[in-house]
Amino acid sequence: MSETTGQSLDYGPIQPGSGRGRKLRERAAGIGTALVALLAKGKAILLLLPKLKLLATFGTAFVSIAAYALLWGWAFAAGFVALLFLHELGHVIQLRREGVKASAPMFIPFLGAVITARSMGDDAAAEARVGLAGPILGALASLVPLAIWLATGSDFWRALAYVGFFINLFNLLPVLPLDGGRAMAALSPAIWLVGLAALVAVAIAFPNPILFLILLFGGIESWRRWKSRKTPEARAYHSIPTRTRVLVAVTYLGLAAALGVGVAETFLSRGIG
């Protein structure tokens, strides 16, 4: 049962000066203000993205330093991560020279560092240049602790130089996705299979989780490329001048030889605490 009162209800159109009209305008203004604030925040986030990427790089670097410090101490861990950073920076620089956008290095404790890119370049020659750029800059970076060791005789710097030479030499193994495998893209895909066979022998003789991971991912990638090697796209990708192949081979062998000498000359039989 409904009950009525003596008051009348106004159902006429809302006039500009009415109370209900003011409320609607106030709500619309509030929504507009919120949208403007949201857009401003979105623009601010876009402006901060490069800084966030840098924070991610330095954040993962710090986590890696902390992890390695458990084994070697803070000073050696910081030097090791710096050498990893410069190695990866070589890849980033060359990728950008090839016109490919690359991410900043990201560190993974006990596994090294990685970068991401949509491709390795337009052809196998570009991929080889990108692959070799890391060990080249990494080898140059390793000359710094080498020079300090020669000047001071400190075993700390000798050990750091050794690690720098070693990780860059290891990356020259002709197995995908290592840098040496990238370089072999400009020579012959068959070398990938030879490199995989050699790495299997090394993994059996010196069992190591990192070696097994390289074998897993390298085997998958090598098999994928081997199956597609006769497609028109693959033929075009690997069709590069003989002069370029020779230059890649000379650079690869010369770099491997120089790093091998560096490893032999800086080898230490005891650990760093």
| Cβ-Cβ contacts under 8 Å for 191 (sequence gap 6 or more) | 174, 184
What stretches of the chain show up as alpha helix (H) in DSSP? 19-72, 74-97, 124-152, 155-170, 179-184, 190-205, 209-227, 232-238, 242-266
Taking CB atoms within 8 Å and a gap of at least 24, the contacts of 197-204 are: 198/173, 199/173, 199/175
| Per-residue model confidence (pLDDT) at position 43 | 41
pLDDT tens sequence across 37-70: 433 444 443 344 444 566 677 788 899 999 999 9
Mean pLDDT of the chain: 81
pLDDT tens sequence across 131-171: 999 999 999 999 999 999 999 999 999 999 999 999 999 99
pLDDT confidence tier of residue 16, bands split at 50, 70 and 90? very low
Answer yes or no: is pLDDT of 25 > 60: no
115: tokens are 């970068």
Answer yes or no: is pLDDT of 222 > 90: no
pLDDT confidence tier of residue 114, bands split at 50, 70 and 90? confident
* CB neighbours of residue 239 within 10 Å: 10
* SS3 state of residue 250: helix
88: tokens are 């990866």
Answer yes or no: is pLDDT of 116 > 90: no
| Per-residue model confidence (pLDDT) at position 57 | 78
| Per-residue model confidence (pLDDT) at position 270 | 61
**Domain residue limits, the chain:** 19-266
